[in-house]
Amino acid sequence: MTNPRAWARAAALALALATALTGAGCLGTTETVATPNVTDAPAGAGINIPPGSSEDYIVNVGRRTYFKADSAEVDATAMVTLDKQAAWLARYPAWKVKIQGFADDPGTPEQNMALSLKRAEAVRTYLASRGVAPDRMRVKAYGRDRLVRDCPEIECKSQNRRVITNLEGDEDI
Amino acid sequence: MSITRRQLVGAALAAAAIPVAGPALAQSAASRWFAGTTEDNGVVYRATDFKKIKPQWRRQLVKYYSTEPQGTIVIDTRHHFLYVIFENQTALRYGVGVGKEGFKWYGRAQIDRKAIWPDWTPPPEMLLRRPELPKFMKGGPDNPLGPRALYLYRNGGDLGYRVHGTVEPWSIGSDVSSGCIRMFPEDVIDLYQRTPIGTNVLVLEHIAEKGI
């Protein structure tokens, strides 16, 4: 085994096993076991994701929906993700969500703040129409705060024009 | 004289007599990779039996150390992984199949076009190599592009490379005879959802080139 990645995997596996044996593993969170800080080491439960955990939600549903320039319209692609979110939330009713709206669009900071709020509210309205109880959702607008990447090109903008339906209790994005 | 259905079937079988055994056998060998069917956008397709798939090729959350911003797609062609970069030095990792002659290109691109159940027009070079291929195939459950295609562009020009699905789940994790970057149908549908137009793509021969 001369390949460093193979070593890393073996080390990760050994650690995971050791942790499982000592009972330090903790179902339902994404930080179950200490794995080495190398690319490709497991960041969660690998393929044995506990159903109903935040990791299940992140890997099998997805938190982000994206919006076109200057728009708060929930498009057909966003609806597919939101339908999955609503179905998951119906199945696991203990979770609440914080709907975080973002913008990186033409206009003033105030206009971006207003647009990010409109986006978050559009997501809340859609999820409510799919049966998620209003008291399980709250919205928060961020405007142009927390840009994923700052550049004038679409490759930056498209990632910033987003809403994140974050599980309450999960780390903020 | 009327032609009965039986005669028609008989004629069709006779016409196909020689090649029929091959595909029929291949079909039964292939079927063990599937677990029933599922529907997507009005198309019924064969669902991957993920119990048959090696763990490393299944979608999972991994650590990922680089300076790539969130949302970027990174493809490690040698190790057959595709990553969507997440926050806090993590990424969602998928297994992929890589065309032997499909990716001799490395570098940065962006997704400027996406399609659902894409049509397939094999490029002229591929038709030269494999003249038996159709010149055009409509999108659908037997189309080798599978349920989604993401088209890679640079400076507004189509690079001719795509990330797409497959009808051959056993080819994920290997170098295959043709095609670009192929994924399980379930995974390429998932990736499509996470990839807005404009998404940045980094294609690496090997991740160590850019990994920290």
| Closest CA–CA distance from residue A51 to any residue of chain B (Å) | 14
Where are the alpha helices (H) located in B79-157, listed in sequence order?
124-129
Task: Answer whether B199 sits within 8 Å of A58, measured CB to CB.
Answer: no
| Closest CA–CA distance from residue A124 to any residue of chain B (Å) | 19
Domain C-terminal end among A48, A63, A79: A48
- Per-residue pLDDT of B92-149, as tens digits, reads 999 999 877 655 668 899 999 999 999 999 888 888 888 998 999 999 999 999 999 9
Do A14 and A43 reside in the same domain of the chain?
A: yes
Distance CA B107, CA B104 (A): 10
Residues on chain B touching A157 (C-beta within 8 angstroms):
198
Range of the domain at A43: 1-48
So what's the pLDDT on residue B208?
55
Whether the pLDDT of residue B198 is over 90: the answer is yes
Distance CA A65, CA A165 (A): 8
Domains of chain B: 53-209 (2.40.440.10)
Q: Which residue of A80, A157, A173 is in closest CB contact with B87?
A: A173
Beta strands in chain B (DSSP E): 34-40, 43-48, 60-63, 73-76, 81-85, 90-95, 97-99, 107-116, 148-154, 157-164, 175-176, 181-182, 200-204
Do A117 and A93 reside in the same domain of the chain?
A: yes
Global pTM value: 0.82
Task: Answer whether B60 sits within 8 Å of A46, measured CB to CB.
Answer: yes
Domain C-terminal end among A48, A66, A84: A48
Distance CA A136, CA A153 (A): 36
Strand A64-66, strand A162-167: pairing: antiparallel
| Closest CA–CA distance from residue B197 to any residue of chain A (Å) | 7
Closest CA in chain B for residue A46: B60
Phi then psi dihedrals of residue A114, to 5 deg? -65, -40
- Our count of domains for chain A comes to 2
Residues on chain B touching A81 (C-beta within 8 angstroms):
193
**Any domain includes A173:** no
Do A136 and A157 reside in the same domain of the chain?
A: yes
Task: Answer whether A159 sits within 8 Å of B207, measured CB to CB.
Answer: no
Is-contact B200 B81, C-beta < 8 A? Answer: no
Domain C-terminal end among A48, A69, A87: A48
- Per-residue pLDDT of A28-80, as tens digits, reads 344 444 677 888 999 989 999 999 999 999 999 999 999 999 999 999 999 99
Do A84 and A8 reside in the same domain of the chain?
A: no
**Any domain includes A137:** yes
